């Protein structure tokens, strides 16, 4: 077994790094700051090139030049020199330099325009052998034009119709046209210009669709990642080869909703939806809506035709409604086992650019867009009147609710409002003057919070001070909103190492990406981070002052391109503590040699050689001056904070004494040399002078440089990466708490105090106040859509809550939560569930739904449909629930009976 860090180490060893700082003459930091600030504000324009820069390097640069607003004086920190631009953290493979999947803008990388990239490279240089990551700006949308940088290009698999097994992969922009693909294919397959051709895409094993519009873009043609595209060359007798296949019944069609087996009959509604490339989120939402009886009946009975509103400025000219109607008719025709919702997806992408690509999206967000789009396309109100909002001002709730509902229906009147809309009651109370504000607002779905976990599990690796002990991986329980000190206390209890002797680090690509202070929040640590906790002991018998140093391993290599030397980081970085009065190269050599003795095996004769005294006779300039030292990028505090860790004393019997018997250096050739480097290990700050006391600060970074032969002979890679697993990793985890749906509803209707960044303007006090706010349910719709808020976002944290929520399949009684005194009985039965499996931003969507014809449950997984049982439905994957109200008792709405459900005004 290897940790992710070990995998990164092996991968990172292939990334060449420039030892020199690189770059040309740099202007001062104020000029850099001003020039980049202006360039980063540049608007995106179609066709222009933008560059990706690793967020870690860019943050270090920002601190170096004082870019952020919190740097009041704008002077930056000269000790944080970032070195050459380094994008190695964005690559899944250092050799091919292919991008990792699912990178997120502003979290993993930043985008800079061409001029900004050129300036950064001119000032700082670039890692040796690393190619720039350049991408084009493309335009999405039909009416609302939306530009974005196309970080991930689309891979198409190209082949000739006559030789479908000879497939060549090619990457295209979504803005490229079908004509561009044809031109490329002619070149790849040596097709003469005079030969007539036509293109086909294959989206199922034996189903093809002609790409007949040369000026259609890749996006509009509905091509997806991995799509097979064939080119067909016309015969000399003016016939097409495919005509013979069509005569034999092959599935070559021009209908975007065609299915491979159109002759067979199936149960209406039991029709899968082909995955067009990360479109499972759309398929899941569509299957839930398709199995919502009142909405599907409305479309199957063509009632929508008379109500299409083509002139609504908030609508989509009726095109979303028509595309949805066509798809529903295909699904419920009973003639097909699965269809490809290609035209529907294209229409959605035209009006909602965020859904136009082929990256994973959120089924609930698509559902919200679709319900809103259908509502506006089918709004019976042709001209919306202007209405003034009125506060309750002491009037009875029933009067205010009726007024709010009627006003809503004057502007919003559609099948969506009839079926899906309900009414919230919102109560705000001023903490100063006790002013009460009551409003009633329409809603289309309920977003319910899940009770948050109070703690989280973290896996960390403890690196002991004893150099002969292998690192040990532990699983610890820490408070969800705790601090680094909580992590150390928890680890101390099961490891026996005193918490005050621990330094918590994030190790990435053989270097310290971050070294944490004890008071930093654990929310800075994400699940994917490799956290190493170092036991750092500093004896204090003689009262000496100790300094803690970061040590990186580097291999000196020869660059083939320029015949000059470079360096490659490898191995696990070290943290060592050394008395300030012994900060000499000779003493550091002995200390480091002891620390790595478990996996660096010296020849036996050398180990037994007689040590000679530290003469300190090397000539040269005086030692490194104070202030020239590179500090780690996390060191934002003053010197007091930086030196804090050097004051730690040793409280553990197992601590390795740095003052060892090997304090004297053997009179042998040294196996490595020292360099003072930046925190990335890529740029040398100053030369190390032998024989002098080095003036190094806390967390200065040293590199120990090895030549390739010495590393190969002495460095035991396998032992260096070896670690042990503590029993805490093997213990069964506690069964996750089960939450009832009513717990989520109660949490939603609980009174809360508004945050300081989200105050309410009190009309009495004439100022913003942190009021108390309470939501209640006044009326509920025929179809109640419940969105379980499983995804949480913060500046540092993006997480999915996989709590199991127990929800009833039938008989959900919502009556007690409805505060309208004239309410009837609100009893609901489940009809559909949208599921999400996996982590946030990735994973897979499916659906469970109850067929309205035979009342049986089915599982929809893209093009596959299978029978399901009720006991399969309640899982931790349940994300959006669809409930249908029983008709045994009519609902008493705040307005006429036929208008019992309400909606959300999109104005």
Active site residues: 280, 844
Spatial distance between the Cα atoms of 389 and 404, rounded to a whole number of angstroms? 8
Residue 407 tokens read as 């006003």
Q: Contact at 8 Å (CB) between 364 and 787?
A: yes
Spatial distance between the Cα atoms of 137 and 151, rounded to a whole number of angstroms? 9
Following DSSP, what letter does each residue of 799-836 receive, concatenated? EE---EEE--SS-EE-GGGB--TT----EEEEEEEEEE
Closest by CA to 54, choosing from 12, 7, 19, is 12
Q: Contact at 8 Å (CB) between 84 and 127?
A: yes
Spatial distance between the Cα atoms of 684 and 521, rounded to a whole number of angstroms? 32
Q: Contact at 8 Å (CB) between 421 and 446?
A: no
- Close Cβ partners of 328 (under 8 Å, ≥ 6 residues apart): 290, 296, 299, 300
Q: Which long-range contacts (CB under 8 A, 24 or more apart) does 321-328 make?
A: 321/373, 321/374, 321/377, 321/378, 323/347, 323/348, 324/299, 324/370, 324/374, 325/299, 326/257, 327/257, 327/286, 328/290, 328/296, 328/299, 328/300
Q: Contact at 8 Å (CB) between 710 and 600?
A: no
Spatial distance between the Cα atoms of 625 and 635, rounded to a whole number of angstroms? 19
Q: Contact at 8 Å (CB) between 494 and 476?
A: yes
Spatial distance between the Cα atoms of 95 and 12, rounded to a whole number of angstroms? 9
Closest by CA to 471, choosing from 591, 573, 603, is 573
3-state DSSP call for residue 777?
A: strand
Spatial distance between the Cα atoms of 189 and 255, rounded to a whole number of angstroms? 28
Following DSSP, what letter does each residue of 428-475 receive, concatenated? EE-TTT--EEEEEEEESSEEEEPPPPSEEEEEEEEE-SSTTSPPEEEE
Spatial distance between the Cα atoms of 260 and 246, rounded to a whole number of angstroms? 13
Q: Is residue 338 packed enough to be buried (19+ CB in 10 Å), middle (13-18) or exposed (0-12)? A: buried
Write down how long the chain is. Answer: 907
DSSP state of 702: E
Torsion angle of C-alpha atoms 792, 797, 798, 803, degrees rounded to 10: -50
Closest by CA to 475, choosing from 493, 500, 498, is 493
For tokens 């249908």, name the residue.
884
- Strand order through the sheet with 752-753: 436-443, 422-429, 772-779, 752-753
Q: Contact at 8 Å (CB) between 444 and 372?
A: yes
Residue 905 tokens read as 């005004």
From residue 124, give the alpha-carbon distance in Å to each of 25, 86, 305, 524, 559: 9, 10, 63, 28, 19
Q: Contact at 8 Å (CB) between 519 and 669?
A: no
Spatial distance between the Cα atoms of 224 and 411, rounded to a whole number of angstroms? 39
Closest by CA to 898, choosing from 399, 464, 392, 418, is 418
Q: Which residues of 794-811 are buried (b: 16+ CB within 10 A; e: fewer)?
A: eeeebbbbbbbbebebee
Spatial distance between the Cα atoms of 611 and 452, rounded to a whole number of angstroms? 61
């Amino acid at each position: 077994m290897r940790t992710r860090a070990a995998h990164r180490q092996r991968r990172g060893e292939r990334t060449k790094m420039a030892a020199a700082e690189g770059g040309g003459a740099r202007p001062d930091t104020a000029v850099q700051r001003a020039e980049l600030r202006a360039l980063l504000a540049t608007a995106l324009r179609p066709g222009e090139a933008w560059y990706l820069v690793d967020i870690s390097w860019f943050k270090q640069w920002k601190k170096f030049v004082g870019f952020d607003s919190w740097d009041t004086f704008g002077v930056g920190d000269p000790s944080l020199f970032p070195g050459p631009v380094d994008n190695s953290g964005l690559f899944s493979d250092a050799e091919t330099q292919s991008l990792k999947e699912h990178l997120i803008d502003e979290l993993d990388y930043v985008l800079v325009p061409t001029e900004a990239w050129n300036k950064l490279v001119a000032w700082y240089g670039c890692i040796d052998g690393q190619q720039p990551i350049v991408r084009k700006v493309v335009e999405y949308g039909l009416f609302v034009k939306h530009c974005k940088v196309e970080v991930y290009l689309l891979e198409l698999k190209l082949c000739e119709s006559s030789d479908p097994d000879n497939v060549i992969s090619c990457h295209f922009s979504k803005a490229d046209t079908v004509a561009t693909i044809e031109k490329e294919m002619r070149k790849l397959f040596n097709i003469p210009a005079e030969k007539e051709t036509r293109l086909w895409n294959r989206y199922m094993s034996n189903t093809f669709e002609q790409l007949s519009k040369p000026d259609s873009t890749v996006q509009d043609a509905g091509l997806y990642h991995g799509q097979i595209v064939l080119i067909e060359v016309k015969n000399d007798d003016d016939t097409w080869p495919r005509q013979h296949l069509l005569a034999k019944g092959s599935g070559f069609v021009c209908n975007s909703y065609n299915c491979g087996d159109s002759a067979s009959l199936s149960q209406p509604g039991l029709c899968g939806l082909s995955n067009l490339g990360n479109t499972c989120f759309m398929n899941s939402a569509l299957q839930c809506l398709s199995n919502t009886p009142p909405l599907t009946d409305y479309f199957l009975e063509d009632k929508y035709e008379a109500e299409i509103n083509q002139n609504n400025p908030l609508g989509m000219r009726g095109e979303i409604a028509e595309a949805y109607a066509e798809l529903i008719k295909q699904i419920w025709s009973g003639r097909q086992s699965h269809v490809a919702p290609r035209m529907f997806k294209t229409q959605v992408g035209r009006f909602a650019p965020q859904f136009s690509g082929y990256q994973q999206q959120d089924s609930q967000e698509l559902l919200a867009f679709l319900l809103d789009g259908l509502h506006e396309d089918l709004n019976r109100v042709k001209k919306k009147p202007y209405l003034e909002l009125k506060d309750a001002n002491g009037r009875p709730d029933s009067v205010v609710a009726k007024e709010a509902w009627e006003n809503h229906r004057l502007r919003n009147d559609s099948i969506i409002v009839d079926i899906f809309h309900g009414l919230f009651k919102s109560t705000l109370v001023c903490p100063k003057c006790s002013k009460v504000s009551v409003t009633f607002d329409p809603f289309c779905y309920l977003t319910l919070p899940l009770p948050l976990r109070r703690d989280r599990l973290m896996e960390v690796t403890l690196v002991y001070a004893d150099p002969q002990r292998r690192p040990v991986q532990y699983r610890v329980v820490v408070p969800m909103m705790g601090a680094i000190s909580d992590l150390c206390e928890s680890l101390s209890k099961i490891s026996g190492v005193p918490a005050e002797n621990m330094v918590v680090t994030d190790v990435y690509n053989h270097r310290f990406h971050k070294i944490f202070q004890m008071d930093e929040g654990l929310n800075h640590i994400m699940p994917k981070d490799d956290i190493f906790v170092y036991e750092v002991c500093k004896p204090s018998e003689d009262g000496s002052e100790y300094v803690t140093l970061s040590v990186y391993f580097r291999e000196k290599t020869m660059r083939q391109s320029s015949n000059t030397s470079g360096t490659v980081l490898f191995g696990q970085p070290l943290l060592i503590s050394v008395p300030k009065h012994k900060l000499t190269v000779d003493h550091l050599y002995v200390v480091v040699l002891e620390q790595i003795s478990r996996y660096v095996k010296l020849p036996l004769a050398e180990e037994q050689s007689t040590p000679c005294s530290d003469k300190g006779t090397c000539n040269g300039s005086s030692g490194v001056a104070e202030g020239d030292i590179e500090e780690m990028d996390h060191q934002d505090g003053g010197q007091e904070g930086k030196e804090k860790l050097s004051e730690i004393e040793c409280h553990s019997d197992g601590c390795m004494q740095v003052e060892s018997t090997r304090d004297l250096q053997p009179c042998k050739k040294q196996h490595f040399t020292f360099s003072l480097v930046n925190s990335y290990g890529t740029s040398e700050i100053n030369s190390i002078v032998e024989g002098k006391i080095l003036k190094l600060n806390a967390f200065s970074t040293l590199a120990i440089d090895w030549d390739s032969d010495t590393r190969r002979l002495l460095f035991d890679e396998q032992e260096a990466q070896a670690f042990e697993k503590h029993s805490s990793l093997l213990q069964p985890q506690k069964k996750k708490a089960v939450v009832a749906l009513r717990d989520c509803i109660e949490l939603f209707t609980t009174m809360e105090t508004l945050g300081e960044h989200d105050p309410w303007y009190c009309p009495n006090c004439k100022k913003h106040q942190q009021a108390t706010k309470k939501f209640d349910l006044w009326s509920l719709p025929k179809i109640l859509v419940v969105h379980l808020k499983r995804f949480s976002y913060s500046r540092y944290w993006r997480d999915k809550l996989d709590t199991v929520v127990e929800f009833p399949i039938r008989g959900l009684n919502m009556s007690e939560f409805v505060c309208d005194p004239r309410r009837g009985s609100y009893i609901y039965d489940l009809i559909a569930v949208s599921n999400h499996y996996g982590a946030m931003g990735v994973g897979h969507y499916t659906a469970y739904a109850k067929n309205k014809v035979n009342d049986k449950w089915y599982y929809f997984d893209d093009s596959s449909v299978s029978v399901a049982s009720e006991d399969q439905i309640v899982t931790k994957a349940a994300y959006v629930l669809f409930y249908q109200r029983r008709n045994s008792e009519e609902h008493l709405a705040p307005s006429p009976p036929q208008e019992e459900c309400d909606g959300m005004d999109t104005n």
